[in-house]
């Protein structure tokens, strides 16, 4: 057993759950990795046969289990249908056409001529 031996800490049927666990560990400075067998994401249903695995170093396993088994420290509170004074009118105050940063710093290649597709 090497000092940096990696073990599978948990198995998840959902990649989202595994990613959340990975992010929680990352926030606590515990390196981890998500391992999945989904044909490069082309067949996500393969997680039914091959669960998504969360791997950590053996030396971090006990601390990682403790963190993942702990309850969330700040539970969400119900909004109780609270009224908001001066609520913004989202339909008026924001639109994709008005959501532009100043692209002039990037030169003419990024000039907004109306034909640019601003989606990722």
Q: What is the pLDDT of residues 53-69, one digit of tens each?
A: 999 999 999 999 999 99
Predicted confidence at residue 1, as pLDDT, reads 60
Predicted confidence at residue 19, as pLDDT, reads 94
Residues (pLDDT < 50) of the chain are 117-120
Predicted confidence at residue 120, as pLDDT, reads 42
Q: CB atoms < 10 A from the CB of 30, how many?
A: 19
Which domains, and CATH codes, for the chain? 6-69 (3.30.70)
Predicted confidence at residue 44, as pLDDT, reads 77
Q: State the Cα angle at 118 between 117 and 119, rounded to 5°.
A: 95
User: Across the chain, what does the average pLDDT equal?
Assistant: 77
Q: pTM score > 0.75 for this model?
A: no
């Amino acid at each position: 057993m090497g000092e940096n031996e990696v073990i599978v800490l948990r198995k998840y049927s959902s990649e989202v759950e595994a990613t959340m666990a990975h992010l929680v560990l990352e926030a606590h400075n515990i390196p981890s990795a998500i391992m999945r067998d989904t044909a490069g994401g082309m067949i996500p249903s393969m997680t039914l046969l091959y669960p998504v695995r969360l791997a950590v170093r053996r030396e971090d396993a006990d601390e990682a289990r403790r963190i993942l088994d702990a309850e969330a420290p700040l539970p969400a509170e119900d909004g109780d249908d609270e009224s908001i004074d001066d609520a913004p009118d989202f339909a008026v105050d924001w639109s994709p056409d008005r959501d532009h940063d100043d692209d002039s710093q990037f030169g003419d290649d990024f000039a907004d001529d109306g034909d640019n597709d601003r989606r990722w």
